[in-house]
Amino acid sequence: MGKRVLLFVLLVLSGLGFAQEGKTKINIVLKDQSDAAALCREASWLPSKRERREHVIATLKRQAEQTQHDLMATLRELEQNGLVSEIRPLWIVNSVSCLADLAVIHELETRNDIMAVFPCEPLPLLDDSPALPAERGDSREIAQNLLQVNAELVWDLGYTGEGVLVGIIDTGVSLTHADLQGRFWDGGPEYPNHGYDFYSHDDDPSDTHGHGTHVAGTIVGNGASGTQTGVAPDAKIMVLKVFHGEDNLTEPTLWIEAMQFALEHGADVLNMSLGQPLPNDEMKLMTRQACDNTLAAGVVAAVCAGNSRPIQMLAPVPYNIWSPGDCPPPHLHEDQLVNPGGTSCVVCVGAVDNNDVLGGFSSEGPATWSSVAPYNDYPYTSNSSTHIGLIRPDVCAPGVNIKSLDYATNNGYCLKSGTSMATPCVAGTIALMLSKNPELTPAEIDEILERTAVPLSEHKSNDFGSGRINALAAVNAVEAYEAVTATESPQAMVFPNPSTGDFTIQCEGMKLIEVFTMDGRLVKRIQTESPVRQLNDLPNGTSLVKITTDDKVFVRMIVKQ
pLDDT at residue 557 in the model? 75
pLDDT at residue 285 in the model? 96
43-52, 167-176, 279-288, range with the lowest pLDDT: 43-52
pLDDT at residue 308 in the model? 95
124-138, 279-293, 451-465, range with the lowest pLDDT: 124-138
* Of residues 121 and 348, more confidently modeled: 348
pLDDT at residue 14 in the model? 40
Q: What is the mean predicted confidence (pLDDT) over 374-393?
A: 96
- Compute the C-alpha angle 554/558/559, nearest 5°: 175
pLDDT at residue 172 in the model? 97
pLDDT category at 488 given cuts 50, 70, 90 is: very low
Q: Which residues contact 106 (CB under 8 A, 6 or more apart)?
A: 3
Average per-residue pLDDT for the chain: 90
Assess whether pLDDT exceeds 70 at residue 489.
no
| Angstrom distance (rounded) from CA 364 to CA 375 | 22
Q: What is the mean predicted confidence (pLDDT) over 458-481?
A: 92
b or e along 299-329 (b: 16 or more beta carbons within 10 Å of the residue's beta carbon)? Answer: bbbbbbbbbbbeeeeebebbbbbbbbbbbbb
Backbone dihedral angles phi then psi of residue 279, each to the nearest 5 degrees: -70, 155
DSSP secondary structure code for residue 284 in this structure: H
pLDDT at residue 545 in the model? 86
pLDDT at residue 484 in the model? 47
CATH 3.40.50.150 correct for 132-485: no
289-293, 297-301, 422-426, 501-505, range with the lowest pLDDT: 501-505
DSSP letters, 421-437, are HHHHHHHHHHHHHHHH-
Assess whether pLDDT exceeds 80 at residue 274.
yes
* Of residues 504 and 64, more confidently modeled: 64
| Angstrom distance (rounded) from CA 525 to CA 527 | 7
Residues 86-135 pLDDT 10s? 999 999 999 999 999 999 998 998 999 999 999 998 888 877 678 888 98
- Compute the C-alpha angle 439/425/422, nearest 5°: 135
Residues 511-525 pLDDT 10s? 999 888 755 678 899
pLDDT category at 47 given cuts 50, 70, 90 is: confident
Residues 400-418 pLDDT 10s? 999 999 999 999 999 999 9
Assess whether pLDDT exceeds 60 at residue 296.
yes
Question: Which residue type is seen at 360?
Answer: G
pLDDT at residue 17 in the model? 41
Assess whether pLDDT exceeds 80 at residue 508.
yes
Q: What is the mean predicted confidence (pLDDT) over 412-440?
A: 97
Q: What is the mean predicted confidence (pLDDT) over 47-57?
A: 91
Assess whether pLDDT exceeds 90 at residue 389.
yes
| Angstrom distance (rounded) from CA 286 to CA 27 | 9
| Angstrom distance (rounded) from CA 395 to CA 332 | 13
Assess whether pLDDT exceeds 50 at residue 444.
yes
Assess whether pLDDT exceeds 90 at residue 145.
yes
* Of residues 370 and 138, more confidently modeled: 370
Select 492-560's CATH number: 2.60.40.1930, 2.30.110.10, 3.40.1190.20, 3.30.420.10.
2.60.40.1930
pLDDT at residue 498 in the model? 75
| Angstrom distance (rounded) from CA 223 to CA 220 | 9
pLDDT at residue 216 in the model? 98
pTM: 0.86
- Compute the C-alpha angle 286/361/227, nearest 5°: 95
pLDDT at residue 23 in the model? 86
* Parts of the chain belonging to CATH 2.60.40.1930: 492-560
DSSP letters, 293-328, are HHHHTT-EEEEE--S-GGGTTTS-TTS-SPBTTTSP
* Parts of the chain belonging to CATH 3.40.50.200: 132-485
- Residues 439, 49: contact at Cβ < 8 Å? yes
Assess whether pLDDT exceeds 50 at residue 262.
yes
